[in-house]
Amino acid sequence: MMQYPSFKLMMRLAVVLCCVNLALSDVRQFIWIENLELSDVAVTDGVISSVNDVATVLDCSKDCRHNPDCWSFTYNTDLTCHLHSVRLAKASPVHSPGSRHYYRVEAKTKSRSTDNCPGEDGYVLLQGVSVCFKVYQTKTRWLRSQALCNKSGSRLIVLDTVEKHTAITEYIKTNMDEMRYWIGLTDKKREGVFLWENGNNVSYAPWKPGSPNNDMLDEDCVILVTHTNWWNDINCNWRYYYICEKLL
């Protein structure tokens, strides 16, 4: 009996094999992000094409990649592929087991600085969510990572929307091995009141189950855990990689 690769594996291949265009001065990556809220339901919003007998999710992603009107696609284990003209589609109430929906975010780096996002310094621009960021793969304490971001004219990243959180998480899972990163969130000023680097309170908050718990009464800083898509409060003196964000 033929065994089909997992969705996760095929989406990795979709990024690596079919979704990168190379040119002399411009690199674009189309990162396919799974919209978990639309799993196992029929997605009928903005359908521009429906094809049966599509062998893999990779083939479905290729069809969307090459269609200029396609911003997301739905693939089902029954081998149906639907292309959509909207990035964040809406679901119908119809149950559709095995259905997975993916939307496109464009990552872009250039040899010259453009739109205040210096690609030559290692920053990546995710145009779909308008965020310019750099992942630093040097482990350091939270305060040190904050200072290093500020020194470079950036800040520890603010993940204040589900779209921004998901795009950053999927980019890291696709391109990096490390799973834990400092982000710009802390309750240092007042215990239990978490504030972003821009001073805003938390609204969207994908905490690890049971967190924040201020374990040992000494967890005031927050890490992003990419393989589980959640946040965890941690002792600020622990050492992790970190993510800087440059305002556009």
pLDDT tens for each residue of the chain, 248 residues long: 434 444 443 444 333 333 333 222 334 456 778 888 888 999 988 899 999 999 998 889 888 888 888 889 999 999 999 999 888 778 888 899 999 988 887 666 554 445 578 888 889 888 778 899 999 999 999 999 999 999 999 999 999 998 899 889 888 887 787 889 999 999 999 988 999 999 999 999 999 999 898 877 788 999 999 988 899 999 999 999 999 999 98
As a whole number of angstroms, the distance between CA 119 and CA 117 comes to 6
Q: Give the pLDDT of residue 109.
A: 53
CA atoms within 13 A on the CB side of 15: 22
Instruction: Please tell me whether the peptide bond between 212 and the residue prior to it is cis, using omega within 30 degrees of 0.
Output: yes
| Strand residue runs (E) in 86-207 | 91-95, 99-110, 124-126, 131-140, 155-156, 180-186, 195-196
As a whole number of angstroms, the distance between CA 120 and CA 109 comes to 8
As a whole number of angstroms, the distance between CA 102 and CA 59 comes to 13
* Main-chain phi, psi angles of 235, to 5 degrees: -60, 130
Helix, strand or coil for residue 174? helix
Q: Give the pLDDT of residue 66.
A: 86
* Main-chain phi, psi angles of 15, to 5 degrees: -70, -45
* Main-chain phi, psi angles of 41, to 5 degrees: -135, 155
Q: Give the pLDDT of residue 114.
A: 53
Q: Retrieve residue 223's tokens.
A: 């890490």
Residue 44: closest CA among 99, 98, 3: 99
Residue 86: closest CA among 129, 31, 43, 29: 43
Q: Give the pLDDT of residue 78.
A: 94
User: Would you tell me how many other CB atoms lie within 10 Å of the CB of residue 153?
Assistant: 12
Provide the β-strand partners of residue 224.
Answer: 181, 231
Q: Give the pLDDT of residue 225.
A: 95
Q: Give the pLDDT of residue 244.
A: 97
Q: How far is CA 73 from CA 31, 84, 206, in A?
A: 12, 6, 25
Residue identified by tokens 């359908």 is 47
Put simply, whether the predicted model's pTM sits higher than 0.85 gets the answer: no
